[in-house]
Amino acid sequence: MLTSTVQRPKSPLAQELDRIVRVMALVTIAVGVAFFLVSLMVGIPATDGFLFAVGVTVALVPEGLLPTVTLSLAMGAQRMARKQALVRHLEAVETLGSTTFICTDKTGTLTRNEMSVVEAWTPSGSIALEGVGYSPSGRSVGSAEAKAAAFTMAQFARACSTGRAIEADGVWSAAGDPMEAAIDAFYHRCRIGGADDPEVRDRYPFDSIRRRESVEFNGWLVTKGAPESVLPLCPDSADAFNITEAMAARGLRVLAVGRRPIDEVSATATALEAEDNLELVGLIALHDPPRAEVADALAQCRSAGIRVAMLTGDHPATARAIAERVGLLGPEGLVILGSELPEDEVELGTMLDHDGVVLSRVNPEDKMRIARALQRRGHVVAMTGDGVNDGPALREADIGIAMGRSGTDVAREAADLVLLDDNFATIIAAVEQGRATFTNIRRFLTYHLTDNVAELTPFLIWALSGGKFPLAIGVLQVLCLDIATDLLPALALGAEPATDGVLERPLTGRHMIDGSLVRRVFGVLGPVEALMEMSAFLVGLWVAGWRPGEAFPSGHALMAASGAAFAAVVLGQAANALACRSATHPPWQLSWRSNPLLIGAIAVQILLLVGLLWIGPVARLLGHAPPPLSALALAMATMPALLLVDALHKRIRASRRR
């Protein structure tokens, strides 16, 4: 019920697109109104001026934005799936790339979730267990009395568990909870004789408040749970507290088992009433080896500016040991119990806003509060979870990440991303792809706005001249540029793969349209493309016999000059697409095979240019004609000119950063 009532926060991508749409809408409307007023001032009839202004306004609309965003997200989702990360909502692709704080659980994410019982302590003595995986074959080392007591404890712990170790094609694996499957293997490894397996009758199921569960088994009420939950109920457990601390400090997960004669329990007793005055049976220590690849993944997080916290239900000493082993524990060495978390969300956020914080014995309600507190501090929060009770926290976070192997259906349904291999390193691979998606959308915006500068320049010159300087390209040509020649390269840029170092450029506080993008568009790429366009137009007029101070030609001469300007813009689009592949490297330093879609799109773009210029009816409809050779040569020079200026700009920026 709680999961369904939690509203997903608006994704960073949705917020950024809202911002872009508002800005673009204001700019295009303002430009349209300005050109309408200018057209009236130069004597154009109001109806024609209105249509002219509408055409200019429509030409400025980034009609390729939504298709490019969708394609980029879909390509990102496909690439994530290849890396064992299944995206359930497309927006999650970019949200993951914007993540600044990851709240990860321990078991199965930082560790391999391949548990095995390695030690058992009872009041009669301790034994060590040896074995591989969940196989029942293995041996126990200890005194005969300790082995007998450990087997009794194994029977009781197994009765409280539903998970089992099963064999399929000669391989033993966990069916159900891996911890309970490990207890089943523990039972078989220390089994003495042909012990019976009576049916469990009554059950008090586990919950996150009690942190234990109980069953009626073989004349006993048997309780299994966290040591700090079970040991206080056992009057004879003084030594067990110290032993628990020693086991946990070695990174072992510890369970306590207690019992009570069933005839002492009232038939109407609640769980809290029944689980009282227990006799301590012993402690079970389980080992879950850390994943080898986690240390490198955490190092990548730090270079990417992402903070990581571990949220686990385990003992604080166990959590600390694992965090130290994988390199997660931060320099502050913060290990905090869930019961110690402050109620005030501002204070909670201040406490947790550090890298490498470890939180132990947390419950699902704590996870929700933690997500909200970090969001209030401006973080984009990713939260992992696998249990039924994790559903609300997965929805509360900006991106919920569920475990595909060990997770429940409820957790997977509430999540935005499902890890098919339950591996923390997969999260980092998905973050990398998410950042690549963010960069691809910026590439599209750079590409589109640069072309808009070239498309708008002839209208700006016409307006500033009071209509005396002829339009280098008309409204129909601009619409053709946007719909026919501009769209395919724009879409192909959305498929650009992640580049090296994308994780080393934190995105905190950045927008898709920022100062860097604006300077590149309006200070470098746009002016070069516009300059080459107008130069080709003027050369076309010059070849037709026009000289400064004379009246501008009309008819075929003006159409041929317009064709040169049109060709310059299309070829500028092609060069611009290549330049936008990277904000730091010229295209000849990038692999030509990494994005074959872009090469194909540019080839189609050039073929379209040939058709639009040399197919007579189409050319006449658009208002241009094939340009003279000298003007065409200058238009063709747009490509090398734009690429060389872009490369020089990138080199200057790189030298300033050194």
The one catalytic residue in 18, 48, 105, 409 is 105
Going by their DSSP bridges, the two strands 101-104 and 116-122 should be labelled as unpaired
How far is residue 246's CA from residue 249's CA, in Å, rounded to a whole number? 5
In the chain, what are the helix, strand and coil shares in percent, each to the nearest 5?
A: 55, 15, 30
25 SS3 class: helix
Selection from 227, 298, 299, 216 nearest residue 259 by Cα: 216
Q: Give the residues across from 85 on adjacent strands.
A: 419
How far is residue 388's CA from residue 371's CA, in Å, rounded to a whole number? 17
How far is residue 331's CA from residue 348's CA, in Å, rounded to a whole number? 19
Selection from 446, 357, 514, 388 nearest residue 16 by Cα: 514
184 as an active site residue: the answer is no
The DSSP symbol for 594 reads S
Q: Taking the CA atoms of 180, 183, 189 and 192 in sequence, report the sign of the dihedral they define.
A: negative
> Hey, what are 149's tokens?
């007591």
Asked whether the beta carbons of 297 and 426 are under 8 A apart, the reply is no
The number of CA neighbours under 13 Å toward the Cβ of 528 is 25
Helices 12-41 and 424-464: crossing angle in degrees, nearest 10, is 10
- Residue 13 Cα distances to 100, 427, 523, 627, angstroms: 14, 19, 26, 43
> Hey, what are 654's tokens?
């790189």
> Hey, what are 104's tokens?
């990860």
**Residues known to be catalytic:** 105
